[in-house]
Every structure is written in C-alpha cells, then in structure tokens.
Amino acid sequence: MNAIILAAGRGSRMGDLTIDLPKCRSVLHGKELIQWQMEAIASAGIKDLGIVRGYLAHTFDFKIKYFENLRWQNTNMVASMLTADPWLCKNNCIVSYSDIVYSGRIVSSLKNSEGDIVISYDPNWLELWSQRFKDPLKDAESFKYHGNCLLDIGKKVETIDEIDGQYMGLLKISPVGWRIIKNYLSSLNVEIVDVMDTTTLLRGLIENGEEVNVCPISGLWYEVDTESDLDIYNKMCSPIDIGP
C-alpha cells in the first residue's frame, strides 16, 4: 500500500496565507496540514508516500517521492492524480487531498476496506458543517449510497434528506480500479479531464455503471477551505489524536 497526497494547487480562497507557501503548509494546532497527513499515513503502517506538487514546488523539502503537475494553474485534482500513474498502475494507493486533517485510524479503516475504488465519508458531517457555515446546505453536496455502494455524489442539494454523509477527500484505488478510471477518462475530451475534480470523476464513474464503494469514518477530521476554517478549528476544536 502506497499513499499519494495531491498538493499541486495554491488554495486561493486562503488569501494571503498562500502567497509564500501552498495551502497544505498552513498551520493548524502547531503543525502544517501536510504534516498531520504524513503522520496519520505513517501511523496506519504505510511507508511509501508521494506528493503531487505544483504551486511553489520548491518549498516542499520532505525527503520523499514527488510527482510534478507542471500545469497546475490550468488543471484540477484528476490531472494531478494522473501524474502519479506509475504508482497507481502497480500498487494499492491511498489518495488524499492536501487540505484535510484526519487520524491514522481513518486511514487504516480505508486501507482495510473491500473494493477497487473506495471513498471515505463522514456520516456525522452536519456537526462539522454547522461550525463552519451559517447554512450547512449551501456548501454540502449530495451523497447517497446503498449497502456499501455509492449511488450519488457532488450535486447541489435543497434538503438534508439528500445527504447520507459527506465525502472527505480520502480514497483508496487498486490497480484494477485505476484501470477502470483511466478507461473512463480516455472516453472524455482532454479539456474535460484537465478541469475535472475528484467528485465529478466519481459521479461520472457511477453514472457510467462502474462500482464505487464507501467506507464510513468515526472521530474528528477537518476540512480547510478558508482562513476562517483555520480560525474555527484552532479556537473550537481539539487536536486530532493521530495514533493508530
């Protein structure tokens, strides 16, 4: 099992915090976001870690494997994943957004889940969203599943009944799953793939008849979209227990 952190973007919604460093180098409870991720991944027993970098790539000085998204300004998450093709073709991989914080227990749960494409989700999402937004439904997206199979994801919602949980930006992909993803992407125009985010990819896969499995999490996790998110977590939330 390998792990890949997608950290090519700037994170422009963070304002001045990303002038000199990428978003994932923002500090929460005394550690950079990416340090929280690296520690959680290591505590889950995953030793081989790679980072997809782009914006201010030279500021990454960890002694690990790097993949380069040289077109980071014009592309999105899926294009960043494609740069890690050599690993995804050969190994089971945990793929993580770089603006989330989670525990090693969450990684281990996903690592041990069944399926070729599996995404983690928070069934208790509303508690976190209620701290971040006056109206949680303005930011939340549709998420429905049956059994352990994803049925719907990533659409605008009007009622809470459309939401069984929230995808948190952490997924597992096997080599078989990666072949499924690449076959689907090959049917699309390059321009569409360039701007595709992971949620749109997942929705496209299930609409194309492919199976995407879900893995519920328990415990704290944080998503950092804005500077106000950092302020809220630093003031109201406790540091996450990274341990296994």
**What CATH number is associated with residue 40?**
3.90.550.10
Look at residue 241 and tell me if it is in a domain: no
Token reading at 95? 């793929």
Query: What's the average model confidence in pLDDT over 76-82?
Result: 97
φ and ψ at residue 193, rounded to 5 degrees? -60, -40
φ and ψ at residue 162, rounded to 5 degrees? -85, 0
Domain that holds residue 10: 2-236
pLDDT (tens digit per residue) in 143-189: 999 999 999 999 999 999 999 999 999 999 999 999 999 999 999 99
Contact 15, 227 (CB under 8 A): yes
Look at residue 244 and tell me if it is in a domain: no
Counting the structural domains of the chain, the total is 1
Q: The pTM is what?
A: 0.94
Look at residue 132 and tell me if it is in a domain: yes
pLDDT (tens digit per residue) in 82-102: 999 999 999 999 999 999 999
Distance of alpha carbon 108 from the chain centroid: 15
pLDDT band of residue 17 (cuts 50, 70, 90) is confident
